[in-house]
Chain A
Amino acid sequence: MQDIPRKRWIRPCTLVYLIMVALTLVTWGIGMTAQGGLELSLLVLLFALIKGQMVGDWFMGLHFVQGIWRWPIIIWLFVPGALITIAFILSYGG
């Protein structure tokens, strides 16, 4: 396998790491202060899916892979994400 140049990989990964820390802190803040609710639940789920995609693309390095190998993580995030979204909407009487 051809290795990715260090700068093209580490710099985005450092940025991704900082974004994930920020999204985690916001998620925790919502969990600590809010009373819940459909919108906030779906918002923190969206944060989690974004973080998951960033792990797959950058930490796992799938951003640098061609073809079908990028898709399993995307599909994996989409399917449970969709199931959870549907279940939460239904739980709010949607």
Chain B
Amino acid sequence: MQKNKYPPGDLAIWIFILAELLVFAAFFGAYAFTRLKNVELFNYYQMTLDRNAALLNTLALITSSYFVVRAVADIREDDSKGCKRWLWAAIAMGAFFIVIKGGEYAHHFSAGVTLSSNTFYMFYLSLTFFHFMHVILGMVILAAVALKVGRGGYSADEHTGVETGASYWHMVDLVWLILFPLIYVMR
């Protein structure tokens, strides 16, 4: 089968995705090399994080990404109803992530943790909150796409918007796949 010349979705979103990934890559490198100078501190405070919550959040994002794949597959076959259902299911998984992560933040804030508590928490809070904001933006994008799908705005012939939103959402998932082991597990 002949391969496509360009990735799915609008090319502009791919430029945006690559820029976002670059920022996260810099964050990851900074975390790893800062930890190098504070290994004991990072290992100690990493143990205060909730790995069960991180597991649930990872499964939620992986599942939501899979749901988005199904949504794209449906619209490519002109199944707007199926596409809409999968998109809202993906958004629901995103909302699940927000609730779990919000609970984690509430727990840490109630314990007096702030950005300036120590270097580990500075990275933990800034990295995960930066990603958290991307999850919210991704949900807004998916919701806008789902609403347009519901109005019959996409079809098998024209569904670039669905693929564009899907690509952004997969980027959000991709970043978390590295964040999860780096922040919660590796020590």
Residues of A within 8 A of B (CB): 1-6, 8-10, 13-14, 17, 20-21, 24-25, 27-28, 30-32, 36, 41, 44-45, 47-49, 51-52, 55-56, 58-62, 64-67, 69, 72-73, 76-77, 79-80, 83-84, 86-88, 90-91
Contact = CB atoms under 8 A, between A and B. Distances in A.
Contacts of A73: 21, 174
SS class, residues of chain B in contact with chain A: helix
A80 B3 contact: no
B181 A52 contact: no
B62 A84 contact: no
Contact of A10 (B29, B68, B70): B70
A89 B51 CA distance: 23
B59 to A, nearest CB: 6
Contacts of B14: 69
Contact of A31 (B8, B25, B51, B63): B51
Given A59-B173, A60-B7, A41 B186 contact: yes
Given A17-B62, A80-B178, A88-B32, A27 B185 contact: yes
A91 B66 contact: no
Interface residues of B, number: 53
Given A64-B4, A83-B32, A6 B73 contact: yes
A87 B33 CA distance: 6
B64 to A, nearest CB: 11
A84 B28 contact: yes
B21 A72 contact: yes
A80 B173 contact: no
Given A13-B66, A28-B54, A72-B21, 18 more contacts: A1-B8, A3-B76, A6-B76, A10-B73, A14-B66, A17-B66, A21-B62, A28-B52, A48-B181, A52-B178, A55-B65, A59-B69, A59-B173, A65-B4, A69-B6, A76-B21, A79-B25, A84-B32
7 contacts: A3-B76, A25-B55, A36-B43, A61-B7, A61-B8, A65-B5, A80-B29
Most buried by B among A2, A4, A25, A76: A76
Contacts of B28: 80, 83-84
A45 to B, nearest CB: 6
Contact of B59 (A21, A72, A80): A21
Nearest to B72: A61
B18 interface: yes
